[in-house]
Amino acid sequence: MAVFELGPHVTGVDKLQPGDTVSITYRNAILTRLSKIASSGIRERIETEVIATVLKTDRKNREVTLRGPTQTQELDAGPAISLDGLRVGDTVRAEFVSPVAASVVRLRIAPQ
């Protein structure tokens, strides 16, 4: 199960019914701020920020996987984020924008 914010241009969601199968196109969550901090071993969420552990960095695709207090999430690094010096195992304070659905389409499923 995943929760997505809907982009302002997504329409027709009011016609969906519980149990409908949908196809969702979405944009990954985007890191807007990232800084290393001293590790206390505790991960926490502070309003729009999270203290997390770096599990993976993909500099070529500018993606960072963070393990936070309740979930592990792959995030796209925004253009202002420097990935230089970021290593697996680092504890970081991260601020990010949640994933946003770009389209939601109800799928027609043939009866079986």
Q: What percent of the chain has pLDDT over 90?
A: 20
20 Cβ contact list (under 8 Å, min separation 6): 106, 107
- Contacts for 58 with CB less than 8 Å, ≥ 6 apart: 64
The helix (run of H) or strand (run of E) holding residue 67 is strand 63-67
- Region 94-107: mean pLDDT is 71
103 token code pair: 């389209």
pLDDT band at 78 (very low <50, low <70, confident <90, very high): confident
Domain boundaries defined on the chain: 28-106
Which tokens is 44 given? 């926490």
**Angle CA(94)–CA(90)–CA(26) in degrees, nearest 5?**
40
pLDDT at 48: 62
Confidence band (pLDDT; 50, 70, 90) for 22? confident
How many degrees, rounded to 5, is the angle at CA 24 between CA 21 and CA 30? 145
Question: Which pLDDT band, with edges at 50, 70 and 90, does 95 fall under?
Answer: confident
CATH architecture label of 28-106:
Roll (2.30)
Q: Which is higher by pLDDT, 112 or 41? A: 41
**C-alpha to C-alpha distance for 58 and 37, rounded to whole angstroms:** 20
